[in-house]
Amino acid sequence: MKTNQSLSFAIIVTFLIIVGCSTEKRDKSENPENPNYSLVKVDSFQVNNFTRVNIRDYSPIENIYLGYSLTEDDILEISESGEILKRVHKKGDGPGNYGSWNPTGLGFGPDSLRIVELPFQVIAYSPDYEIIHSHRIMSPLPIRANSPLGIPPFYQKNDTTLFLVGPSNYITASNLIYNQEGKDTLQNFYQLNLLTGDVKSVIPYESNSIYNSTQGVYMELMGKSFFVDSENNELVLVQGLDPEILIYDLKDLSLKNRIPITYSEFLTYDPVPIGTRISEEIVLPLRRLAAKNQKLMNLGDGIYLLQYFTGITEAEFENRNSEDEPYSASLDTSEQRILIFKDGKQLNLELPGLDGLLITSLPGKRLLVQEPENKEVEEEFTKFSIYQLTTN
């Protein structure tokens, strides 16, 4: 009798545990606060061109991409299927051209303008590539780029279009720091009035930023990623090393909110003294090993994606690097992670890095990824993939 009672008790306990586990699993999957997100490849296309093509922006109004062909230095308008619809050459001297510098930024502007940002100038072209606006900017840093590095962001204020431009939009701001005064007065952007050409520096580095916590400088790690959220009239920004996303109100560029970031792994290295040359050996760990935030993207409906590089040790780098096959750690997808934020909070999951370079967000919670080029065979096309954020 005692044995039967014990057996019955054990069966009941086991049943309750099974029910409890299945209920917990069901509640977790059905809880809208903790959806099971994944990035799924839903489409792909290729752009046929003699040289490599870099796409930079997408217009949901015209349903076309804006890109640039390397070496040829042509601005390209590309269909959603990858067909080159228009090819325009604006490099060089002469009326309507932008000179000998390659663009650092390229994107769509208001009223279907095509925006070309150069190291010392911003030009707004019409869809027929006639110059509508052209303004000089006093940049302290000439950038020699092979291709545009990003999209010049803009927003509207009192019937005026304002752009956020400048060299540190696309490269590390440590290149702008030559002394302590330069470090103390450094700001994030030049604000350019598209109508008048007026320019001023805006948005200083926050007082609690890691960059203000040291007398040294984080060489090669003062990049940033950002976007303008027109729907909410906000600028959303993440610095290369700071563990938080900053949200600024575009009405007055005041700090509106901070979203803390939690990483599974984020390996950092010490800063170097101001004035250290980039070629010095003490800079190498910062350049090739240190963790950093890489790409912040807006998928709409309050959802942000943040890709970051975890960082690696010197030993890991030496084991993977060789003279025949140089290793670039920050491009290694096995060392990249993608975090998801929704309605101002980080979700409790990490997605693996995607094979390729994250370019821009697309409608329908999708994002464009440029696939790696084949270094063994010279290809006369560039491949792109489209991923969509889905819930299971």
Mean pLDDT score, 179-192: 91
Mean pLDDT score, 301-311: 97
Strand partners, 383: 46
Q: Given this model, what pLDDT does residue 378 score?
A: 83
Place of tokens 């979203």: 259
Mean pLDDT score, 302-314: 97
Q: Given this model, what pLDDT does residue 325 score?
A: 86
Query: How does pLDDT run across 18-59, given as a tens digit for each residue?
Result: 434 444 333 333 445 557 899 999 999 999 999 999 999 999
Could you tell me the pLDDT band of residue 9, with boundaries at 50, 70 and 90? very low
Is the pLDDT at 242 greater than 50? The verdict is: yes
Place of tokens 């560039």: 382
Q: How far is CA 20 from the centre of its chain?
A: 42
Strand partners, 141: none
Is the pLDDT at 143 greater than 90? The verdict is: no
Tokens at residue 233, please? 């009239």
Report the C-alpha gap between 71 and 162 in whole angstroms: 31
Q: Give the lowest-confidence range in 87-96, 108-117, 142-151, 190-199.
A: 142-151
Give every CB contact of residue 365 below 8 A, 6+ residues apart in sequence: 299, 300, 301, 303, 388, 389, 390
Is the pLDDT at 14 greater than 80? The verdict is: no
Sign of CA dihedral 150, 52, 172, 336: positive
Q: How far apart are the first and last CA of the chain?
A: 48
Report the C-alpha gap between 87 and 284 in whole angstroms: 40
Report the C-alpha gap between 284 and 18 in whole angstroms: 54
Sheet with 84-88: list strands edge to edge: 53-59, 64-69, 74-79, 84-88
Could you tell me the pLDDT band of residue 264, with boundaries at 50, 70 and 90? very high
Q: Is 259 helix (H, G, I), strand (E, B) or coil?
A: strand
Question: What percent of the chain is modeled with pLDDT above 90?
Answer: 81
The answer for 304, left when phi > 0, alpha when psi is -120 to 50, beta otherwise, is beta
DSSP 55-77: EEEEETTTTEEEEEETTTTEEEE
Is the pLDDT at 81 greater than 90? The verdict is: yes
Q: Is 384 helix (H, G, I), strand (E, B) or coil?
A: strand
Is the pLDDT at 211 greater than 70? The verdict is: yes
Question: What percent of the chain is modeled with pLDDT above 70?
Answer: 91
DSSP letter assigned to residue 354: P
CA separation, residue 85 to residues 55, 63, 79, 384 (Å): 14, 12, 6, 17
Mean pLDDT score, 291-319: 97
Residue 170's closest CA among 202, 212, 216, 139? 139
Query: How does pLDDT run across 193-202, given as a tens digit for each residue?
Result: 999 999 999 9
- pLDDT greater at residue 179 or residue 190: 190
Mean pLDDT score, 289-296: 98
Tokens at residue 304, please? 């942000």
pLDDT averaged over every residue in the chain:
90
- What values do phi and psi take at 4, rounded to 5? -65, -40
Residue 343's closest CA among 242, 230, 281, 257? 257
Cβ count within 10 A of residue 88: 14
Q: Give the lowest-confidence range in 12-21, 50-59, 357-366.
A: 12-21
Is the pLDDT at 184 greater than 90? The verdict is: no
Q: Given this model, what pLDDT does residue 13 score?
A: 39
Predicted model pTM: 0.89
Q: Given this model, what pLDDT does residue 35 score?
A: 73
Is the pLDDT at 11 greater than 70? The verdict is: no
Q: Given this model, what pLDDT does residue 34 score?
A: 59
Give every CB contact of residue 248 below 8 A, 6+ residues apart in sequence: 203, 234, 235, 236, 237, 254, 255, 256
